Amino acid sequence: MITHEFSCYLPAGKPVFFTIDRAVGCRASTLLRVIPAELQIWGREEIRLPDLHFYKTSIPIKPRNTLPSRCLEWLQQNSDTAENVIFPDDSLNDIFPSGPPRDSVNVLIADPEELVEALDDLDPLHTYSRTMKKVVDRHLQRLFIKSSPSEIIKTHDKLAQVFGGEHPLIHIGRTGGIPAVIFNPVLANLKKDLDNLDQIEVGPENIRRASRYLHNAVQFYKDEEARQQNLEELLNQAIGQDVNWKSTLDWADDITPSAIWKFGDFAAIVLELKNSLGISGDAIHQAIIDYAKMVSSNKYKHLWGRCNFPVVLVGITANRIEISVAVCVGAIYVTKLFAVDLALDFHASDNILALARLFRALSRCRLDLREYYRSVGQSDALVTRPILSALFPRPTPLDVSRPLPDLTFQYFVQDGQPVPDIPDFGHALTAMFIATLNEREVIVKFTPRYNKAAHDLLAQAQLAPRLHACELVVGDLFMVVMDRVDALPISQLMNSMKLLPEIVSKKVEEAINLLHQQAIVFGDLREPNILYAPSEDRVYFVDFDWAGKDGEARYPATLNDWDLTWSPGVEPYAIMHKAHDLWQVDHLKALCNL
C-alpha cells in the first residue's frame, strides 16, 4: 500500500509543525489519533484528542515566518466549511485523492479555546463579532411565537404581545423604527419602483391580466378558498410561477401561508389572502407572523447574523392590496410601501394601469431576491466566524448619479462609542454606526434631516469633524459620514469635572458666531452635541440635524420640551431664532463659571 507524508500544523498558542507517514487507503482516524502524541513530543502535553478539530488544507509552508498568521487567517475564513473538516471515519484516499500536496500544510490542527484567543489577537473585531453573535441568537430566540399566525391575528392580547410593549418582537410602524429598505438594495429598488409607478413600462398582456384581476378581486365570494381559486392563476402569471399555494412548512411551526414565492429554502415573497375586511384578521399582519416563524426557526439558525432575510409581504383582503417589506436584524423591522383599494369606478383605467405596474415591480423584485439568495447560498460555505455584516445597513442612493462612499460597517454606536448590543431602533429617531472608509474610522449616521452647509462651515473652521458625505438614501433618510474623533461629549465630562474647560465656552461662542453670520441657527446646542478632546484641547460640534435658516426653519415636531430645559420660545415645530442659540451659549458659560 502506498504511503504518503502528511504535513501537520498547529498554528495557535505555541505553533507546532511535524509530519506523519500514512497509507492513503487508511481511515483518517489512523492519522488523527497519533497527532496528540506528536504534540506532546513538542511540549504540548496539555492537548487531548477530543479537544481538537482537524482541517484539510493546501497552505504553502513557505515563507515559514508568516505561516502562523496565514494559517490563522485560513481558519478565520474556512473553519466552518463542512468539506474542509476531517472526520475520523473519512478515508484518506477520499480526502486527498491525488495524495497530500507537497510543500503544503495538509492537516491543520485547531484547539477551539486557543483558536478563539489567537483570532482575537489577530483581529479585535473577532471578539466583538463573537459577542454580537450571542446577542443576535438571544434576540431571535425571543422571536419564537407559540400560537399560530391565524390565531394571533384574531386576538387582541396576542397581537399586543407580538407587536406591542416597550420592546416589541416585531416593529410594524407603531414603533416602526429604522426603514427596512436601508438594509437591502433589492428592497430599496422595490420602494423606488413603487414610489415611481408611472415610470414602469407594461405591455398589453400585463394590462389585460391586471384588468382580469381587478374584475375578479372586487367580487364577493363565499369564502377564502373561492377567492383564492379566482385569483391564484392570475397572481402566478403576474408575479411568477415559482410559487407554493397552501403549502405547510413543518420546519416553521407548521404554518401554512396562502402563498410563498421561494428560492431554495428562502422565502422571497409571502402572501396572505383574506376574503373580507374585518373578518378573520389582518392579512398583512398574518404574513408578518409567517415570516417571523420562518426566520426564527432552527432551519436558519446557522445564518442568523449572516443574512437579514429580506422579504416582500403581500396582504390581499377583498379588493385591497398591501405591500410591505421586512428584514431581520436581531429584531424584525417592517416597512409599509404601498396600499390600494381597487375599484371599478370612473378611474378604473388608472387603477388597472397602476395594478399592472405593481405586479411588474413585484415580479422584478422576486427575480432580484432570487439572485440575492443564490449569493447567500454560495457564500454560506465560506463563512467561518460570526459574520455580522447583514446586521448593518446597505443603503441605496436616491440619486444613482451620486454613488455612496465605500464603507465597511463594524460597530453599533451609542453616545459615540461601540456597544456590544443591538440598539432598539424601534424607538430611535436616528441610527449611528462606526465604519471604515479608506482604512479611516468614521461615524455613519442615518437621519431624516441634516444641514450639510452648517457642518461644512464649522468643519472648515476646525470646529466639527471632517464631513465625507451627506447623501439622501432610499428610505427618505440622509446618510451622513464624518470622521470619528477621539473626544467625549461635555455631558460626560461634567460627571467628573466641577467646571468645564474655558476653551469650551470660547469655541462655542466662536462656532455660533460663524453660523449666525450665515443666518444659520444651530438649534440643538445641548451638552451631548458638543465634544471635547482633552489630548488636543479641541472642541467639536456634532449633530447638525436641526440647524436651519434664522426666522424660517422650524424645530421638529418631536422636540422634547417636557423634561429638558430650553430657551423661551423653543417648542415643537416653533420657528427657529438666533436668540435661542444665544440663550444656550449663556447656559454653557455658566457651566464653565464664566
Q: Which long-range contacts (CB under 8 A, 24 or more apart) does 116-124 make?
A: 117/12, 117/13, 118/11, 118/12, 118/13, 118/72, 119/72, 119/75, 119/76, 119/385, 122/69, 122/72, 122/73, 122/76, 123/76
Structural domain range at position 91: 3-121
Q: For residues 82 and 215, which has the higher predicted lDDT (pLDDT)?
A: 215
105 and 164 belong to one structural domain: no
Q: What pLDDT was estimated at residue 213?
A: 97
83 pLDDT tier (thresholds 50, 70, 90): confident
DSSP states along 199-265? GS---HHHHHHHHHHHHHHTS--SSHHHHHHHHHHHHHHHH-S-EEES--BGGGTTB--SEEEEETT
If you average pLDDT over residues 268-295, what whole number do you get? 92
Query: Quick check: is 114 in a domain?
Result: yes
427 and 567 belong to one structural domain: no
Instruction: Provide the 3-class DSSP secondary structure of residue 304.
Output: strand
DSSP states along 377-431? HHHHTT--S---GGGS----BSSTTSPPP--EEEEEEETTEE-SS---GGG-S-E
483 pLDDT tier (thresholds 50, 70, 90): very high
Q: Which three cell numbers mark 581?
A: 442659540
CATH number of 53's domain: 3.10.20.90
246 and 295 belong to one structural domain: yes
Q: What pLDDT was estimated at residue 400?
A: 92
Decide which of 443, 466, 483 is a domain's last residue. Answer: 483
If you average pLDDT over residues 384-388, what whole number do you get? 53
If you average pLDDT over residues 221-231, what whole number do you get? 95
* pLDDT at 300 > cutoff 80: yes
Q: What pLDDT was estimated at residue 129?
A: 76
Query: Quick check: is 126 in a domain?
Result: no
Decide which of 483, 518, 540 is a domain's last residue. Answer: 483
Task: Quote the CA–CA distance of 380 and 304 in Å, as a whole number.
Answer: 11
452 pLDDT tier (thresholds 50, 70, 90): very high
381 pLDDT tier (thresholds 50, 70, 90): very low
If you average pLDDT over residues 377-406, what whole number do you get? 77
Q: Which three cell numbers mark 263?
A: 428560492
The position carrying cell 423604527 is 177
Strands 331-341 and 170-171, how do they pair? parallel
* pLDDT at 571 > cutoff 60: yes
* pLDDT at 52 > cutoff 90: no
* pLDDT at 261 > cutoff 70: yes
Query: Quick check: is 276 in a domain?
Result: yes
373 and 421 belong to one structural domain: no
594 pLDDT tier (thresholds 50, 70, 90): low
* pLDDT at 376 > cutoff 90: no
Task: Quote the CA–CA distance of 395 and 317 in Å, as a whole number.
Answer: 32
* pLDDT at 563 > cutoff 80: no
Query: Quick check: is 332 in a domain?
Result: yes
* pLDDT at 411 > cutoff 50: yes
355 and 233 belong to one structural domain: yes
| Cβ atoms 235, 252 nearer than 8 A | no
Instruction: Provide the 3-class DSSP secondary structure of residue 438.
Output: coil
Query: Quick check: is 401 in a domain?
Result: no
Other C-beta atoms closer than 10 Å to the C-beta of 364 total 17
162 and 310 belong to one structural domain: yes
Q: Which of 407, 370, 373 is nearest to 303 (CA)?
A: 373
Split into its structural domains, the chain has a count of 4
215 and 360 belong to one structural domain: yes
267 and 281 belong to one structural domain: yes
* pLDDT at 384 > cutoff 60: no
123 pLDDT tier (thresholds 50, 70, 90): low
Residues 483/489/492/493 CA torsion (nearest 10 deg): 100
Please provide the average confidence, as pLDDT, over all residues in the chain: 89
Q: What pLDDT was estimated at residue 406?
A: 95
Percent of the chain with pLDDT over 90: 58
Query: Quick check: is 128 in a domain?
Result: no
If you average pLDDT over residues 255-260, what whole number do you get? 96
Decide which of 384, 419, 454 is a domain's last residue. Answer: 384
Segment 501-535, tens digit of pLDDT? 889 999 999 999 999 999 999 999 999 999 999 88
Q: Which long-range contacts (CB under 8 A, 24 or more apart) does 510-513 make?
A: 510/461, 510/463, 511/458, 511/461, 511/463, 511/464, 511/539, 511/541, 512/581, 512/582, 512/585
219: left (phi over 0), alpha (psi -120 to 50) or beta: beta
201 and 343 belong to one structural domain: yes
423 and 560 belong to one structural domain: no
Task: Quote the CA–CA distance of 30 and 398 in Å, as a whole number.
Answer: 60
Q: What pLDDT was estimated at residue 189?
A: 98
CATH number of 426's domain: 3.30.200
CATH number of 502's domain: 1.10.510.10
If you average pLDDT over residues 272-280, what whole number do you get? 88
252 and 302 belong to one structural domain: yes
Task: Quote the CA–CA distance of 282 and 55 in Å, as a whole number.
Answer: 51
Task: Quote the CA–CA distance of 176 and 168 in Å, as a whole number.
Answer: 10
Query: Quick check: is 307 in a domain?
Result: yes
Whole-prediction pTM:
0.81
Q: For residues 246 and 162, which has the higher predicted lDDT (pLDDT)?
A: 246
228 and 147 belong to one structural domain: yes
| Cβ atoms 510, 461 nearer than 8 A | yes
176 pLDDT tier (thresholds 50, 70, 90): low
Q: For residues 318 and 82, which has the higher predicted lDDT (pLDDT)?
A: 318
Secondary structure letter of residue 197 according to DSSP: G
* pLDDT at 589 > cutoff 90: no
Q: Which of 263, 296, 306, 302 is nearest to 82 (CA)?
A: 302
The position carrying cell 414603533 is 175
Distances (CA, A) of 409 to 186, 387, 390, 520: 19, 11, 10, 32
Q: What pLDDT was estimated at residue 380?
A: 44
Q: What pLDDT was estimated at residue 175?
A: 61
If you average pLDDT over residues 106-128, what whole number do you get? 74
If you average pLDDT over residues 560-588, what whole number do you get? 91
